[in-house]
Structure 1
Amino acid sequence: MLSSITQRLRGRSAGEIVRLIGHNIVYHARAMTPQARQRDRSFQAFDEQWGTDTFAMRELHTLSVDPALAAHARRYQASNGANMPVWFADLKVDFARTAFIDYGCGKGRAVLEAARFPFARAIGVEFAPELVDIALSNREIMASKGALVAPTQFLCMDAARYQPPADLDLVCFFYDPFDDSVMAPVVDRLTALTQPVSVIYLEPHCIGQFRRSGHWAEGQSVDNLVLRNPAAQAL
């Protein structure tokens, strides 16, 4: 137990440790609510339906990852794609010319749910090799059952170094995957793009990285934060 805690705190500053403790308190408090228990049942139903492994949480210290990168990442927890039809309708997504990208995709749940829509591409970016392997296995399971419409890709790499495609409109998904030190270069790359880029951001703890440029318009979809660059606003 002590060694596990030591692994999780290694390489973090005092401020980062305080923020991590606060993040964990909030997470566990939310996990005890009736809404959270209902959400968990829906997550488990997805895996029961498809035979996938997307629900079970993974702490970073259980993964073989670079400690320098892990110090800025969050634990893996599945996201719920139930609101995707509303998100995509609100964003006026033209699926045939749009790529869906999940930054910090973990086991691939959001990517796989998005791939059931006719996107040009569905992409997951994840730095933990074990999680990418699980995501790839989940993709094969769902593809074998004819559940996926979009070409689906999982990339094992640091999100801060990922260059999104410049030839497609983008819908980018973030479920509080990492802290400001990773979010800053990710946002800089997205801000530099000229094609329509829309962002769905759940638990937006690093929203300041989007706001600092004055480039992104903020809105709501099913009580979740959405952001659009100027090209997406013009659609």
Structure 2
Amino acid sequence: MRHIRAMSLYHTHCHLWDRKFEEFERFATRGTVFPEELSPVNSAHADLTYEYGPSPRLVVEWLLDALKVDFGQYSFVDIGSGRGRVLLTAAGKPFKQVHGVEFCSVLHDQASSNIAGYPDEHLQCRDVRSILCDALDYDVPEGNCVLYFYNPFDIRLVERVVTKFLDSAAGNGDRIIVIYYNSKVSKLLPADRRLAFRRLPGLSRLKLKLLSPHPVQVYERVAGEA
């Protein structure tokens, strides 16, 4: 029943909202790409990856708005960014920069083409790019960061990436917010005291509970924890 509900909501988002943006996309961002189709890849962890599927745009917008932060003080990084839908949605906010990390060269090329052809009037962030590399090889940007995962690969690799961001922020007090969409675990990094659940506003929680195809967990780096 959970799967049927999720697929029903996913298709509702697709038909009522997401397809409206396809006229701006050189490569349609909808659809699923399975692991055996994700080649060639630029990663030593290809065996840990899951299928690619795009996040519903409205869900991403709800999540970003629910953070209640000054976007201009944050970078946004999507790990496993695929064809770039989340990047273009996030770039509708005035982030300092919006980066996507993608290990599949075909999806990276399609995302780069989508970014290049997207109308400027729909973007508030001008530094938007897809970066072809293994997630663990990505250079963590300086300053505060919103880190986004749509369950791109095994939890062991997710936690290693998050730990890399936390380690980078440890010496300078940067804020790290982690959005983990469609998580398969009850808690991310349970033994790491540097990361705590972040409670979203009540209305946002209600919208996500009723209208999001998948559950979401939001975390934040605990101030003062090295």
Q: TM-score, normalised by structure 1?
A: 0.77
- CA 1:169–1:68 in structure 2 vs 1: closer, same or farther (change >3 Å)? closer
Q: 1:225 to 1:181 in 2, by over 3 A?
A: closer
Show the counterpart of 2:166: 191
1:56 Cα deviation after fit: 2.3
Partner of 1:94: 70
Structure 2 counterpart of 1:225, from 211, 217, 220: 217
Displacement, 1:202? 0.6
Amino acid paired to 1:63: L
Aligned partners of 1:196 and 1:232 also within 8 Å: no
Correspondence list, 1:28-43, <5 A:
29=4, 32-33=7-8, 35-41=9-15, 42-43=17-18
Partner of 2:213: none
- CA-to-aligned-CA distance 1:106-127 (integer Å, 9 cap, x gap): 1110011100111110010010
Q: Does 1:72 align with 2:51?
A: no
TM-superposition CA deviations, 1:106-154 (whole Å, max 9, x none): 11100111001111100100100000000001001114x5322211011
Task: From the CA coordinates, give the structure whose radius of gyration is larger.
Answer: 1
- SS of equivalent to 1:170: strand
- Counterpart in 1 of 2:211? none
Match status 1:202 vs 2:177 = no
1:132-147 mapped onto 2 (5 Å cutoff): 132-143=108-119, 145-147=120-122
Asked if the contact 2:24–2:117 (Cα under 8 Å) also holds between the matched residues in 1, the reply is: no
The CA deviation at 1:97 is: 1.7
- Structure-2 residue corresponding to 1:160: 136
The structure whose RCO (Cα within 8 Å, separation 6+) is larger is 2
Q: Paired residue for 2:191, among 212, 215, 228?
A: 212
> How large is the Cα RMSD of the aligned pairs?
2.6
Aligned-pair identity (%): 27
Deviation at 1:217, TM superposition (A): 1.6
- What TM-score results when the alignment is normalised by the length of structure 2? 0.80
